[in-house]
Structure 1
């Protein structure tokens, strides 16, 4: 099927930028690990740090990046902030990519 000029719908600049930022988020191994862990349930920074053997400052920095893209969300319980996935679309892309990488 060929795309002709009459049916082609261009992507606006804002959408292009957002898509590129999401792929940028998914291009970093640390962010992939965090998103994959959070796909299995919510965690605090301490839990993420311990589970993935990362410095808490590294985890916090990456969570801030992911939160700015609305890929993760947070909720406070007392003094602890818990993080979870905020976008099932991106988690589905991540899971499909993992499945593809494992496919022989």
Structure 2
């Protein structure tokens, strides 16, 4: 696979964004919402202070992992790239194997 340095550097930036547990919690919360969600809904559900949630949403938005929509003075958020959460699912499955000491599934390649 011929992957440019620029592409690898951008991927590394996304991994860095995903290294924050609060951001992952936000992504998972938004994953199961069928409508756009306000910041207060995320604060209430995750029990994390509003300034923290707002800051993390800003970072997620900057990297196009969530998007927002303004309606009057209200701001609504929705997951922008569900594929990224699937990638986190794969990592969580990897961690479960590591914690349990289970062998990883055989690679089919």
Q: Same fold (TM over 0.5)?
A: yes
Question: What is aligned with 1:5?
Answer: none
Moved over 3 A (4+): 99-104
Tell me the distance in 2 between the aligned counterparts of 1:102 and 1:44. Answer: 32
Question: What is aligned with 1:79?
Answer: 73
Structure 1 unaligned segments of length 5 or more: list them.
1-7
1:32 to 5, 20, 24: 24
TM-score normalised according to structure 1 size: 0.80
Question: What is aligned with 1:3?
Answer: none
1:49 to 11, 33, 43: 43
Instruction: Give the count of matched residue pairs.
Output: 96
Question: What is aligned with 1:58?
Answer: 52
TM-score normalised according to structure 2 size: 0.77
2:11 to 8, 19, 24: 19
Structure 2 unaligned segments of length 5 or more: list them.
101-109
Aligned-residue CA RMSD in angstroms?
1.7
